[in-house]
Amino acid sequence: MFDHLWKKTVIFTLSAALMLSATTGVYAVPEEESDTDDSEAEEVAIIDEEGFPIIRGEMGITIDVETGEILYAKNIDKKAYPASTSKIITGLLFAENSDKEDVLSYTENALAQPSYSLNTDYGPIPLGYEMTGKSAMEALLIYSANDVAAMVGDHVAGDGESFVQMINDRFDEMGLENTSFTNASGTHDEDHYTTAYELSVITREALSNPWVEEVLLTESVVIPTPRGTVPWENARRKVANGDPVLVKTGYTPAAGRCLVAIYERDGRKIAGIVLNSEYNHGDTMVFEDMDRIMDWSFDEAERTPYFEAGDRVDTLEVEYRPLRFFGPVHTAEVPVTIQEEVLYFENDINEEEIHVAVELKDVSPFSMDPEEPVGTASIQEREAKESYAVYPEVSRGDILSNHIGLYIGTGLGGLIGLVALAGLIGFIIRFNGRLRKKRRQYPRF
């Protein structure tokens, strides 16, 4: 009996201890729970202290397609690997040199390409297998097939090396100094690189091509292979945008997750680039990055004044003679102003690179009028450029008023001279009159 009672007591004591322990674990330190909540709030912050969106990508940019103005910038000139976003230049050259009805043949160069590849993923594909231009463009841009990129290069230029030369020649035409490709697909190579900014230049040109645009707007495609068809959905479904959007993805371990895009809202187009972002299980992070900088660019980014109306932008030096055609030469420094507000997007790149160039006419101070322009001020932010008329801050009268003493002295001197001349003329007339009178009084014989 005692033993049984003792066992119950022990069991009760242990149960109570366990309950107390469990209770302590949940409720003992509410301050730590608050700290955890604060930490979680910080982890999901999407705007930094300066008001710019926070992204996981190491590099990112948004740029107005029409004006070339940079709205958002993060490491935009840093070297990066573009991975399969490289295929947009392959698609552009293909579109410019082929058509949908062309027939392409599967080559050894295509066969040698790694996954993503129709051959490695859904093959084998035999040499000589034929594909239409339409199917090849869809496999290139929607499925992102490396072997099709190689096949396109061989079709357009004859071989892979010649096609890569075509690509890099096109980059030279675009004025790109920090981009060089070694292949048509974006498979990793230390010498295959670009920057976020220069990839935005490529993106705007490539995605403006009608055929490339048409394919990237397609929701899904069906790609033929020798073993059957491969249905594939466009990655654009992963962005949260109700209006037209064009995207091309890329990934290698060295490049990270990459995305290029053009969003359109209310008739305005913005190009976006995110490079070296994270590749999570659901593949959402790079798309969240893109949505974040695009939403901010459309809805939050605002131009701020660089010049207010009436601000001075330069000084015009004018040489002139106050007496117009004779006398000493004087120099006047005329302030030049801009008569309208000049706006720009305030970010580190624009702050560092904005440049003002003023071109002034050869203007006479005798015709100077604050209502008439005397030149132009060109405001340039990398590739975005706008020109504004500039005006003198003073008029002809303001300049000439500095010489009132000279004009008064010259006027008085002139008046005295005229009086003296009149007196001299009067004297001569009187003298001649007396002389004639004497001659009449004393004629010669």
Task: Read off the pLDDT band of 31 (50, 70, 90).
Answer: very low
Do 138 and 234 reside in the same domain of the chain?
A: yes
Residue 350: pLDDT above 50? yes
Region 287-295: what's the mean pLDDT? 96
Residue range of the domain that includes 149: 59-301
Task: Read off the pLDDT band of 128 (50, 70, 90).
Answer: very high
Q: Could you give the percent of the chain with pLDDT greater than 90?
A: 65
Active-site residue among 87, 117, 185, 297?
87
Do 294 and 342 reside in the same domain of the chain?
A: no
Domain C-terminal end among 284, 301, 318: 301
**Distance between CA 142 and CA 135 in Å, rounded?**
10
Region 217-224: what's the mean pLDDT? 96
Residue 38: pLDDT above 60? no
Active-site residue among 144, 185, 200, 297?
144
Residue 160 has a pLDDT of 97
Do 359 and 284 reside in the same domain of the chain?
A: no
Residue 233 has a pLDDT of 95
Region 30-45: what's the mean pLDDT? 38
Distances (CA, A) of 118 to 47, 184, 188, 392: 41, 16, 18, 68
Evaluate whether residue 240 is within a structural domain. Answer: yes
Residue 180: pLDDT above 50? yes
Residue 20: pLDDT above 90? no
Q: Higher pLDDT residue, 400 or 333?
A: 333
Residue 273: pLDDT above 80? yes
Residue 404: pLDDT above 60? no
Average pLDDT, the chain: 84
Do 274 and 333 reside in the same domain of the chain?
A: no
Quote the number of domains for the chain. Answer: 2
Is 248 annotated in a binding site? The answer is: yes
**Residue 74: active-site member:** no
- Taking only the tens place, the pLDDT of each residue in 138-165 is 999 999 999 999 999 999 999 999 999 9
Do 255 and 382 reside in the same domain of the chain?
A: no
CB 313 within 8 A of CB 356: yes
Task: Read off the pLDDT band of 241 (50, 70, 90).
Answer: confident
Evaluate whether residue 44 is within a structural domain. Answer: no
Region 35-40: what's the mean pLDDT? 35
Region 96-110: what's the mean pLDDT? 98
Q: The whole model's pTM is what? A: 0.79
Residue 358: pLDDT above 70? yes
**Distance between CA 260 and CA 290 in Å, rounded?**
8
Residue 412 has a pLDDT of 60
Domain C-terminal end among 274, 301, 328: 301
Residue 50 has a pLDDT of 85
**Residue 84: active-site member:** yes
User: CA 137 from chain center: how many Å?
Assistant: 28
What CATH number should be reported for the domain holding residue 378?
Answer: 2.60.410
Active-site residue among 84, 98, 117, 185?
84
Residue 398: pLDDT above 70? no
Residue 33: pLDDT above 70? no
Task: Read off the pLDDT band of 438 (50, 70, 90).
Answer: low
**Residue 144: active-site member:** yes
Evaluate whether residue 397 is within a structural domain. Answer: yes
Domain C-terminal end among 402, 418, 437: 402
